[in-house]
Amino acid sequence: MFELTFLGTAASAPLPKRGLSSVIVAHDEHRFMVDCGEGTQRQLLSSGLGFRRLEHILITHPHLDHILGLAGILSTLGQWETLDHMNIYGGQSALDRIEDLINRIVFRGTRPPIEINLIAIQPGFVFQGDDFDIVAFPVRHRGPDCFGFVFQEHSRRPFLNEKANALGVPQGPERRTLVKGLPITLADGRVIYPDDVLGELQPGTKLVITGDIGEIDGLERIARNAHALITEATYMESDAEIARQNGHITAAQAARLAQRAGVQQLILTHISGRYRERDLEAEARAIFPNTVIARDFDTFKIKALRDVPKPVE
């Protein structure tokens, strides 16, 4: 399961009730921030999440509404020294700009008090955990080095406690060995094989975050069967031509992508103040009914299986 907390959901400039782009994706003890628009540190505090375990920040692209918040966060962390290192992942263009921000502005003339690792990403693995991976994929927006991210739990076979109990498999390390796919020998000499106690292979949860995008072509395959697709809806279809010129998509395009990719839920962000939220939502829902427009501080639990994730009250 992935747990999302939206910290900022506005497009390009903040709105009274929406900060600039940032979302936290949590998986067990891991926490990833995706994008870090201006004001994100205050949103992080208001959300109750705080700076704890903020070691990984993924940047989709170099535009200022997605990176300026890094300056404030690094400045604060530099004073508090609550973290000893931070990994910032992004395309080379984003990292070049972030490096200027860090070395020429925030820590100008001094050594950063925490270790900051700028990690250049290419399409492919960005992070490989024990039970999930993060993969970057290229998107077309404005300028080079724009990426989206797929968070994918590994497929696994559930452990069938009832069968294990019936076979007399003790609680403890024996069960972990079976989960890893290795046989065990019981005290009475019987050998228990993984197939005896493991269920059918179940796909893990898949979460796709596209960042800003100027077209949906080519993304259907990447978002295929995702349990949640988070994408932008900067414009409505009535302004499709302006959207195209500015390298953004409309709510209707986002919904068509969700429909074609067969995702479970569509969550829209990067919302402009020029439209009423309910109009944007209606445009998307007419095509893909299971759409929500994220608001700042909304949280969602994204799970595999066919139960539909809902905002947590």
Size of the site for Zn ion (CB under 5 A): 3
Minimum distance from CB of 44 to Zn ion (Å)? 19
Q: Which of residues 41-70 bind Zn ion (CB under 5 A)?
A: 63, 65
CB closer to Zn ion, 65 vs 281: 65
For the chain, how many residues are written? 313
Largest CA distance in the chain: 74
Minimum distance from CB of 21 to Zn ion (Å)? 6
CB closer to Zn ion, 145 vs 283: 145
CB closer to Zn ion, 23 vs 184: 23
Minimum distance from CB of 224 to Zn ion (Å)? 25
Burial of 15 (0-12, 13-18, 19+ CB in 10 A): middle
Chain CA centroid to CA 56, Å: 11
Q: Which of 28, 35, 65, 196 is catalytic?
A: 65
Stretch that binds Zn ion, among 67-75, 157-165, 208-216, 236-244 (CB under 5 A): 208-216
The DSSP bridge partners found for residue 217 are: none
Q: Which of residues 146-205 bind Zn ion (CB under 5 A)?
A: none
Q: In this chain, which of 153, 212, 281, 298 binds Zn ion, going by CB under 5 A?
A: 212
The values of phi and psi at residue 214, to 5°, are -100, -5
Name 310's Cβ contacts closer than 8 Å, sequence gap at least 6.
Answer: 300
180 to 30, 183, 196: CA distances (angstroms): 21, 9, 13
Minimum distance from CB of 60 to Zn ion (Å)? 8
The DSSP bridge partners found for residue 274 are: none
* Site of interaction with Zn ion (CB under 5 A): 63, 65, 212
Active centre residues (catalytic): 65
